[in-house]
Chains A and B, each alone.
Chain A
Amino acid sequence: MDDKTKDIQKQEMEKGERIERARAAKVFTPDVDIVERKNDIVVIADMPGIDEASVDVTLENNVLSIYGKVDWDVPDKLKLLHGEYGIGDYQRVFTLSGDVNREKIEATVNNGVLKIVLPKAEAARTKKIAVRAETK
């Protein structure tokens, strides 16, 4: 199994790519895998600290937005001795190509991982066309 654990830093969003927000928290770009399957597109995002109540997924005109709000309190009386990662919200926006069946989008959260299954619309599915021998 190849390892892909070298880059340990969470990516904070660049100033230019986000809209200024009222909430004074850092915003991170979650790492995502996007897999196109036969009948759907699966978007998987690592968003540690979120649960089903604190994540928003919206689809508007082919623009899929993911936003996760992380509420985290500093442990009582404790002081940070050594900090390697930052804590904050997550945001990411994708433009989808192709048609998606909006009625059947499903999103689930498990152990801080968001999974969105976007079924392809009937028209966008790859159709296999049978090739027949021409009969004269």
Chain B
Amino acid sequence: MLWTEGFGTFGRGLDPWSEFRRVENEMNRVLSRFASPSTGEFPAVNVWADGSETVVTTELPGIDAKGIEISVTGKTLVLNGSREPLEVKEGESYHRRERWYGKFSKTVELPFVVEGNKVEAGFSRGILTIKLPRAESEKPKKITVRSA
């Protein structure tokens, strides 16, 4: 289709892309619901859950798996670790320095009490994945209703 000047009768003129932009903005608005405001503490975590398990993922590139400390108490998960800054010797200079370094400690509130000794953690490609199963005692029980 050929767009000519003659079409530009609506206020700002007819922009063939405006509809695409509107749809895109709408999509972004809908999707942004999934990104809830963070606690502001490093590192950012995503918490996934179903009825019996919570999965916490976080991005910690460049950290040795052994250097990550994970502890769970009841409904609270605490992550500790650190990353060293790059060593720069004499005669070497930074052109850019954007990567994070230092110690971090993050506390994550879980949706339910966790079976502490069944927690599994995996670390690959710089992403830490922690699987936290719900404590047996916490699982909902089905109650049979008897008629009197």
Q: Any chain A CB within 8 A of the CB of B97?
A: yes
Flag if B97 contacts A8 (CB, 8 Å): no
- Size category of the binding interface on chain B: 35 or more
* Residues of B24-69 contacting chain A, CB below 8 A: 34-36, 38-50, 53-55, 58-64
Q: Inside 8 A of A110's CB, which chain B residues have their CB?
A: 62
Prevailing SS type, chain B contact patch:
loop
Q: Inside 8 A of B55's CB, which chain A residues have their CB?
A: 75, 78
Question: Would you give the 0/1 interface string for A43-56, flagging 1 where the beta carbon is closer than 8 Å to chain B?
Answer: 01011111100000
Flag if A31 contacts B99 (CB, 8 Å): yes
CA distance A71 to B25 in the complex (A): 24
Interface residues of A (CB under 8 A from B): 1-10, 31-38, 41, 44, 46-51, 74-75, 77-86, 110-113
Not counting A4-B99, A8-B41, A10-B44, a sample of 13 additional A-B residue pairs whose C-beta atoms are within 8 angstroms of each other reads: A1-B84, A4-B85, A4-B102, A5-B100, A10-B59, A32-B96, A33-B94, A78-B49, A78-B55, A81-B54, A83-B46, A84-B45, A112-B126
